[in-house]
Amino acid sequence: MVERRFSQFLQKLPFSGAGHLYEPLERSELEILIGGQCDSKAIEREKTVVALSPKEASKCHKEDLAKAFYVDLQNGLSEFSVSQRRQVHGWNEFVADNTEPVWKKYLDQFKNPLILLLLASALVSVLTKEYEDAVSIAVAVLIVVTVAFIQEYRSEKSLEELTKLVPPECNCIREGKLQHLLARDLVPGDIVSLSIGDRIPADIRLTEVTDLLVDESSFTGEAEPCSKTDSPLAGGGDLTTLSNIVFMGTLVQYGKGQGVVIGTGERSQFGEVFKMMQAEETPKTPLQKSMDKLGKQLTLFSFAIIGLIMLTGWLQGKPLLSMFTIGVSLAVAAIPEGLPIVVTVTLVLGVLRMAKKRVIVKKLPIVETLGCCNVICSDKTGTLTANEMTVTQLVTSDGLHAEVSGVGYNGDGSVRLLPSKEVLTRFSNVSVGRLVEAGCVANNAVIRKNAVMGQPTEGALIALAMKMDLSDIKDSYVRKKEIPFSSEQKWMAAQCSPKNEDQEDIYFMKGALEEVVNSCSTYNHGGIPLPLTPQQRAFYRQQEKEMGTLGLRVLALASGPELGSLTFLGLVGIIDPPRAGVKEAVRLLCQSGVSVKMITGDGLETASAIGRNIGLCNGKLKAMSGAEVENMEQEELADCVGKVSVFFRTSPKHKLKIIKALQECGAIVAMTGDGVNDAVALKSADIGIAMGQTGTDVSKEAANMVLVNDDFSAIMSAVEEGKGIFHNIKNFVRFQLSTSISALSLITLSTVCNLPSPLNAMQILWINIIMDGPPAQSLGVEPVDRDALQQPPRNVKDTILSRALILKTLLSAAVIISGTLFIFWKEIPADKAGTPRATTMTFTCFVFFDLFNALTCRSQTKLIAEIGFLRNRMFLYSVLGSVLGQLAVIYIPPLQKVFQTENLGALDLLLLTGLASSVFIVSELLKLCEKFFCRARKAQTHPDHI
C-alpha cells in the first residue's frame, strides 16, 4: 500500500517524462534505497573521525575513547569503516616529498660553479673554432659528473640493501576476528593486540595491559623499558611520561596489551619527527663552499687575463677583436679542467677506503667535511653505549664488594672479589653466590643467541649468573607463584620450591632498596642470618647512593620463607656500558681539536656517569637539561652551548636547537644517532652519522653517513680521511696552477715582446696532458700523513687558494718561467727565428720542470725525504711514464714530425735535468725554512720546553 502511494506521488511531479507511468518499487529495491540513505550517514560519520594527540588520548576513559572513534573495543572496526577512514587518513606510511627521479639527480651534478665555468669555456672554444679544446673539456666534465653520480647512486643502493626489512605486520581485531595485517593497513580506531617482540605499528592508547614493558629507546633515548598501564592519566606531562600510550616504532619487551590506534602515518609522533626532518635542508659542505669560491676566483682570474691582453694589444695598436680572441683562448687554457676530475677521484677513493672500514658514505663531499668538523654531538643509547644492560658491581649484605667484567648477554667476563681480585664461581663465596642466585631465580628473562627475550635488566642478572656458572640454578626450583612488578609497589617476587630437596617454599624478591629492605628482618652474613639493625640499613642506603652517583641502576635482592621476614642478600649495580673503543676514540678526537658532546634522553646521573667513563672534557663535565635548552633564547644558547659537554632529558626539538646554536657559533657539527628522536638533528647537522645495525630506517634516511658495524671509533678514520683529502686537493691545485700560469706567462711574454712562440700547439697539448693526466691525478691519491689526525680541524673560512698557497704557486711558477726563458733565450738564434732545436729544448725543459714541480707538490709542509719516494707508487709510475713519453717525443721519428722536435744530446738532457730540479730544490728549501721558523716560534711561546 505504501509503495503504491509513493509511486502515485512521483507520477504527479512536474519534471520531464511526467507522462511515464512509474511502477511500484519492489520491497528489495526499497531496502536498498533506505540502506543507501543510512550508508551516506555512516560515511559522513566516518569522515568526522580524527586522530587524537597522545596527551589528549591519555586523559580519556575507555568509554570516551570508544565513542570518539566509533569503535567497539571488543569487536573492532568493520571493513566498511576501515575503507571510509582510509580515504580520509590514507595509508599508515610515510611518503618523502623530495623523492627525485634519477635523471634529475644526474643533472644536479652540473650545479657546481666550477663545472659551469668549464662548460662556458667549452662554449667559447666552439665559438673560436678550437674544437679539440671544446671536446676535451666536455669529456672531462662528463667524466666528473658521471663518476660523482655513480658513486652517490651506489651508496644509496648500498643503504637500501642495509635497511631492507620485512614489511612490518601487526595483529588487529576487525569484525570480531583477530587478523594478521600489514601495519600500513591500520586506520585510526583500529583495535591492535600487542605481545612480546612486536614492533608497535602506530600510536596506540592502551585499553588492556598485562605486565606490559616497552623499549622506547629509539624514540626517547631511555635505555630502560617503560612499564605501561591502561588507566587514564590526570595531567598531560611530557611524552616520555605518558604510561598509557605506546608509540610507533617502539618494541614490546615483555607482557601483552591491547589498545586503540589514535594516530597513523604522518599524524603519529614518528610522523611528526619525519615531517620535521623533511622541513630541514641539508647544509652545503665546506668543500662545496671552497670549490664554489675557487670557481669564482678562477672566473675573475680569467677576466683579468682577457683585460690585460686587450689593454696590451690596444697600447701596441693591434686589432681589439683579435686580441680579445687571444685573451679568451688563454683564459680557457688557464682554467684547470682536470681539477673537478681530481677532486671527484680523490673523494671516490676516500669513499671506497671508508667502505672497506664498514662505513657507507651517501654524498661524496661529506668525506672531506669530517676534516673540518670540530664538534661531534652523539646520542648515548646504542651509539656511545651498547644498549645492553650489564651488571658491573655487587655489594653483599655483609659488606663484600665485587666487580663484574664483560658486556652484553653472552656470558663473557668474570666476577672478582675486591680487593683480592679473586675470581668467583658458583658458591665459592656464599654471600655472592646467594645474591646471584636470587637474581637468577626471581627472573622472567631468557637469553638466546646472545640476545635477551624479556626485560633487559633481568637479562643482565641472567648474564651475571652465566659468568658465575649459575645460569642453571633456576632449574633447581619449581615456581609456584609470582607477584609481578608494578610501578606502585616497585618490587617483584617469586614463590618457589626446591626440586630435589624436601624443604619449605622460598620467596625470592628483587626491587627498590627501601621496599625490599622493609620486607626483611635479617641479613645474610656468610650464610648465617643475623638481625637487621638500623646501622645495617643506613649502610645499604649509603652504598646505594654511591652506586647511584656512578650512574648505576641499583636493585636490592632478598630471599626467605615468608614475605614479611626475608633475609636481605645485597645490591647489584646495572648500567648500559660504553661501547668498546669509544673511550679511546673520544680521547684521540679531543687531542686533535674535536669537541665531543653527548645529547641523551636519560637523566643527569646516568648521563654524567657515562660522560665521565668515556672521558668527555677529561671528566670535568658541565651538564644542561632539555628544559633549560627550551627556555633559552637561541642567541643565549649559542653563547654557552660550547662549554656544555652533556645534555640530558632532551627531545628531538631540543637536539635541533642545540645543533643550530653550535652552527651559529661557526662550528662544523657532526651528529651521531640511531633512533627516531635523532633523525631531525642528523639531517640538520653538517654531517649526520647513523648506526647501521641498531639504527632505525628514518635515522639512516636522514644521515649522510652510516656506520655499518655501529663502531663509533670508525669516525676517527673518517676524520683522518677528510683531513688528508683536503691536503691532496690543495697539492693538486698548487701543481696545476703553477703549471698553467707558467705556460700562459711564456706565451703572453712572447706575444708582448714580438718573439716567436716558444711552444707550438701540439707541445702545449702534451703539457696539458701532463698537467691534467696521470702525474696530476696521482697527487690526489697521496696517502694521508700519519700525524694528520693530530692536526686541528681546518677553519671553514680557509679557502683552497690561501695566501700561503698562492705565494708558493707564484714562486714555483717564477722558477719555471725563469729557467724555461733562459733555455729559450740561450737556444734562439740572433735573428729571433724559431728553430726545431730551440723549441725542443724549451719544450723538454718545461716538461722536466713540470715533473720536478709535481714531486715537491706531494706535500705542502713535509720534505720528500720525510714522506718517502716509494709511498705513492702511482705517482712513481706516472712520472716514469711521462719521462719515457717525453723521450719518445724527442727521439722517435714519426713523433718528431708531429711535435716538430729533434734529437738532443746526453749533455743537453743533463743540463735540462739539473736546471729543472731547481724548482724542487727551491720548494724543499722553503719547507725547511718554514720548519725552522715554526720551531723557533714554538720555543719562544714555550721557553720552559727548551
Same fold, 363-384+579-717 and 390-575: no
Cell of residue 327, nine digits: 685573451
Give the pLDDT of residue 159. Answer: 43
Return the amino acid letter for 286: P
CB contact set of 55 (below 8 Å; sequence gap of 6+):
236, 237, 239, 242
Cβ contact 121:332 at 8 Å: yes
Q: What 3-state DSSP class applies to 226? A: strand
Give the class (CATH, top level) of 390-575.
alpha beta
Give the pLDDT of residue 112. Answer: 64
- Spatial distance between the Cα atoms of 214 and 229, rounded to a whole number of angstroms: 11
Instruction: Please tell me whether the overall predicted TM-score, pTM, comes out greater than 0.85 for this model.
Output: no
Omega cis (within 30) before 577? no
3-state secondary structure 614-643: CCHHHHCCCEEEHHHHHHCCHHHHHHHHHH
- Spatial distance between the Cα atoms of 148 and 898, rounded to a whole number of angstroms: 36
- In terms of phi and psi (left: phi > 0; alpha: psi -120 to 50; beta: otherwise), the region of 186 is beta
Closest CA to 628 of 644, 608, 615, 617: 644
Cβ contact 220:153 at 8 Å: no
DSSP, res 270: H
Give the pLDDT of residue 744. Answer: 77
Cβ contact 307:277 at 8 Å: no
Give the pLDDT of residue 69. Answer: 86
Residue 475 appears among annotated catalytic residues? no
- Spatial distance between the Cα atoms of 544 and 572, rounded to a whole number of angstroms: 9
Cell of residue 180, nine digits: 594478521
| Mean pLDDT in order along the chain per 10 residues (946 residues) | 39 38 44 49 73 83 86 87 86 66 75 67 72 70 70 53 52 88 87 85 88 75 74 72 83 85 82 64 62 69 70 72 61 61 71 78 74 83 77 89 85 84 85 89 81 80 88 84 76 85 84 87 87 89 86 88 88 85 83 84 79 74 83 85 84 84 86 76 83 73 79 78 78 82 78 72 70 72 67 72 83 91 84 78 90 87 80 86 88 84 89 92 88 72 46
- Spatial distance between the Cα atoms of 396 and 557, rounded to a whole number of angstroms: 10
Give the pLDDT of residue 10. Answer: 34
Give the pLDDT of residue 39. Answer: 64
**Which residues, in sequence order, are bridge partners of residue 214?**
226, 252
- Spatial distance between the Cα atoms of 459 and 455, rounded to a whole number of angstroms: 6
- Domain-wise residue ranges, the chain: 1-47, 363-384+579-717, 390-575, 718-945
- In terms of phi and psi (left: phi > 0; alpha: psi -120 to 50; beta: otherwise), the region of 615 is left
Catalytic residue selected from 198, 379, 398, 602 = 379
Closest CA to 737 of 680, 805, 688, 636: 805
Q: What is the CATH architecture assignment of 718-945? A: Up-down Bundle (1.20)
Closest CA to 707 of 324, 396, 357: 357
**What is the H or E stretch that residue 65 is in?**
helix 62-69
Q: Between 803-827 and 714-752, two packed helices, what is the crossing angle to 10 degrees?
A: 40
What topology is assigned to 363-384+579-717 in CATH? Rossmann fold (3.40.50)
- Spatial distance between the Cα atoms of 136 and 558, rounded to a whole number of angstroms: 82
Say how many CA atoms lie within 13 Å of 210 toward its Cβ: 8
Cell of residue 604, nine digits: 643527569
> Which residue is listed with cell 636490592?
556
- Spatial distance between the Cα atoms of 512 and 523, rounded to a whole number of angstroms: 16
Give the pLDDT of residue 7. Answer: 39
Give the pLDDT of residue 915. Answer: 93
**What is the H or E stretch that residue 827 is in?**
helix 803-827
Say how many C-beta atoms besides its own lie within 10 A of residue 266's C-beta. Answer: 18
Give the pLDDT of residue 645. Answer: 86
CB contact set of 520 (below 8 Å; sequence gap of 6+):
532, 558, 560, 565, 566, 567, 568
Give the pLDDT of residue 849. Answer: 92
Cell of residue 31, nine digits: 531496502
Cell of residue 784, nine digits: 694521508
List C-alpha distances in Å: 339 to 488, 729, 804. Answer: 68, 8, 19
Cell of residue 555, nine digits: 636493585
Give the pLDDT of residue 938. Answer: 63
The backbone torsions φ and ψ at residue 180, rounded to the nearest 5 degrees and listed phi first, read -100, 115
Closest CA to 340 of 780, 768, 742, 775: 780
**What is the H or E stretch that residue 353 is in?**
helix 338-356
- Spatial distance between the Cα atoms of 185 and 77, rounded to a whole number of angstroms: 13
Q: In what order do the strands lie in the sheet with 669-673?
A: 359-361, 705-707, 687-691, 669-673, 375-378, 595-599, 646-648, 623-625
List C-alpha distances in Å: 697 to 203, 218, 351, 702. Answer: 17, 11, 22, 9
**What is the H or E stretch that residue 706 is in?**
strand 705-707
- As a whole number of Å, the CA-based R_g of the chain is 38
- Spatial distance between the Cα atoms of 932 and 946, rounded to a whole number of angstroms: 14
Give the pLDDT of residue 14. Answer: 38
CB contact set of 660 (below 8 Å; sequence gap of 6+):
634, 684
Give the pLDDT of residue 476. Answer: 85
Give the pLDDT of residue 23. Answer: 46
Say how many CA atoms lie within 13 Å of 43 toward its Cβ: 8
Q: What 3-state DSSP class applies to 521? A: strand
